[in-house]
Chains A and B, each alone.
Chain A
């Protein structure tokens, strides 16, 4: 969180216009991205299935970006005990779980067309994303099962940081596992040789996802701030 936004009142004032603005940007980028997407010709290898790439790869990228945001917010929440950072972490988790689920579903559908199988354990990226999804689920489950909110905040933050440290190790181990089993080489969507006709819609869609996440994140942080205020009200009303 930027220092200027650490004050909840200032954050609310900022997000009041920033959230809708990001939302409009996201819708605009999504429209452009989809237009570029469906104007792109079928790939000579993958045929029409190349269109799945334009929604799968941004989702996969976002699953990591959101986890990085979750980890960053958790770190600030844990070290500085800042309530807004905790709200940000809590708000990011369901969005991250959703986008990771999308990465898995679209990746599986794409895999079926490319590899002829719904799921290839030999692909390190797919397997890492699955573990990442489990990290999100663990975060949400821990958050839901700790009744005392004051104690839930540090606990979930610690879990997010443990996950953040482990994620690269998981990816490394899964990559190593693949080398042991010598799975067939996989089509590299993010290879350097991608032609511009595919790169343009891919990047536009990625930016659209990013802006959309930004907008929804702000909305959910706002909801968290309001929820906290409502609780304080309820406590005061109870005496």
Chain B
């Protein structure tokens, strides 16, 4: 199956992989930030912790 994937970027590797890396980083940041906020404020709204 994996033989069907083409990961041989050749001379474009220097552009393609940074683009994918940047996308992964930004999306990961947005996901983590969103989930962290939801967790934090849910706790502040429902739990004993006082909102700052």
Interface residues of A (CB under 8 A from B): 35, 38-42, 47-49, 51-52, 55-56, 59, 94-95, 98-99, 101-102, 105-106, 109-110, 112-113, 212, 216, 219-220, 222-224, 226-227, 229-231, 233-234, 237
Tell me, in angstroms, the Cα distance from A226 to B10 when the chains sit together.
49
Number of interface residues of B (CB under 8 A): 35
A227 touches B22 (CB 8 A): no
Do residues B37 and A223 form an inter-chain contact, with CB atoms below 8 A?
Answer: yes
Q: State whether A112 touches B26 (Cβ < 8 A).
A: no
A160 to chain B, nearest CB (A): 19
Residue numbers in A under 8 Å from B34 (CB-CB): 95, 216, 219-220, 223
**At the interface, is chain A mostly helix, strand, loop or mixed?**
helix
Contact indicator A233/B16 (Cβ below 8 Å): no
Measuring CB to CB, which residues of chain B are less than 8 angstroms from any residue of chain A?
Answer: 4-13, 15-16, 18-20, 22-23, 26-27, 29-31, 33-35, 37-38, 40-42, 44-46, 50-51
Decide: A212 near B27, CB < 8 A? Known: A38-B5, A48-B12, A227-B41.
yes
Please indicate the chain B residues that have their CB under 8 angstroms from the CB of A105 in the complex.
19, 22
| Residues of chain B lying within 8 A (CB to CB) of residue A220 | 34, 37-38
CB within 8 A of A227: which of B18, B23, B44? Answer: B44
A112 / chain B contacts, CB cutoff of 8 Å: 15
A selection of 7 A-B contacts at a CB cut-off of 8 Å is A48-B13, A49-B16, A216-B31, A222-B38, A227-B41, A229-B41, A237-B50
